Structure 1
């Protein structure tokens, strides 16, 4: 059945990066378009990752739990779907504000407030998903079906962004779980992706956070 450890690892990355984002935006001086472009690109990457992550759950996870878990899933899956709608609304607000801020470095307070609303909704959702949904997934979703969640995200991620996305997850991730996620990949990818991903995230973090080792959030790992 499903090995859900990779979801905890992905959630840890999302908690960390979305928790740091509002202050990153607030730290950009009005008119500093060079810095706004760097932070804005990072925010856009995270928003895209989040959208694909939830899209995969909508397509691959909720229908299976509705079908198989019966009364145990009925209320909580409905809650998850409602939370996804609320997160998508907050996400759409952020995505709508990002282009103007990136190009002008004006309106940072409004964008940071929108990011904070997105962060709060996302963290509440992930905490409930971890306690209520993932135990059901372990019981009712097969390993092959679970892998389709990750495959959906990877299939819709631009190839140039894949090593960075892997590195972002690996930063606080369990190497054993990373190896399991990559187990079906060709040997060169299994060997090289962890190395390349780690280097790509370190370089990205230095540019965005000012350090290759931004604060670890630690929660949500398993």
Structure 2
């Protein structure tokens, strides 16, 4: 299908999954429903750090790569002011969560403030993602050429996302049909990636999200 932004939608899907489970995890640890030892504290802190990096990378790529192409292609049909303003409020929120993650690592403690910050980030980003998918995705499909969309995706891939973090999370939210299509398009290298990359990541997830 022309300009079907599967990568963008999958990134959103993975982000929403983590927003839900990180907010739930922090709430559980704050209220004492789950234990937290030094090893797990370090794992939780590291995951939070990677997650904040992932969000920043995603929205910076939209601001600096996708938005200019969309504005050039759609012209008066697009107004990105509200979405750009949403992005501007993210950095302070991420900074608070990074600070909370350091406290988790150093004190093996999840504070009520961190739990509240994660719940706030979840609510903010869920609303933002819904707005973006309702307004931006149809404009991409209608106005951005195949050639320009391919350039957007290629440019974003070169921006240095942490693939050992991004790929397993994307795979986890992909349907069997989407995985089959990826194997078909990517051949043996992609099939091997789909099989191998999630293995160590699952161990990491088990430590972070399991009591």
TM-score normalised to structure 2 length: 0.83
Offset at 1:209? 1.9
Offset at 1:107? 5.2
Q: Distance in 2 between matches of 1:150 and 1:114?
A: 33
Q: Which residue of 1 aligns with 2:16?
A: 15
Q: Which residue of 2 aligns with 1:102?
A: 105
State how 1:7-156 maps to structure 2 within 5 Å.
Answer: 7-28=8-29, 32-74=37-79, 77-106=80-109, 108-147=111-150, 148-149=152-153, 151-153=155-157, 155-156=159-160
Q: Does the 8 Å contact 2:168/2:201 carry over to 1? A: yes
Offset at 1:121? 0.9
Q: Deviations over 1:113-136 (max 9, x none)?
A: 111111111111100111100110
Q: Does the 8 Å contact 1:24/1:39 carry over to 2? A: no
Q: Deviations over 1:22-55 (max 9, x none)?
A: 2322333697433221111111111111111111
Offset at 1:8? 1.8
**Which segment is superposed worse, 191-200 or 173-182?**
173-182
TM-score normalised to structure 1 length: 0.79
Structure 1 pair 115/153, CA: closer, same or farther in 2 (3 Å)?
farther
User: What RMSD in Å do the two structures reach over aligned CA positions?
Assistant: 2.7
Offset at 1:184? 7.8
Unpaired stretches in structure 1, ≥5 consecutive residues: 212-222
Q: Deviations over 1:64-89 (max 9, x none)?
A: 22222122202xx1111011112222
Q: Distance in 2 between matches of 1:154 and 1:179?
A: 25
Tell me the SS of whatever aligns to 2:89.
helix
Count how many residue pairs are aligned between Structure 1 and Structure 2: 205
Q: Deviations over 1:154-208 (max 9, x none)?
A: 64134xxx244211111121355456668886x5532311111332333222222
Structure 1 pair 179/78, CA: closer, same or farther in 2 (3 Å)?
farther
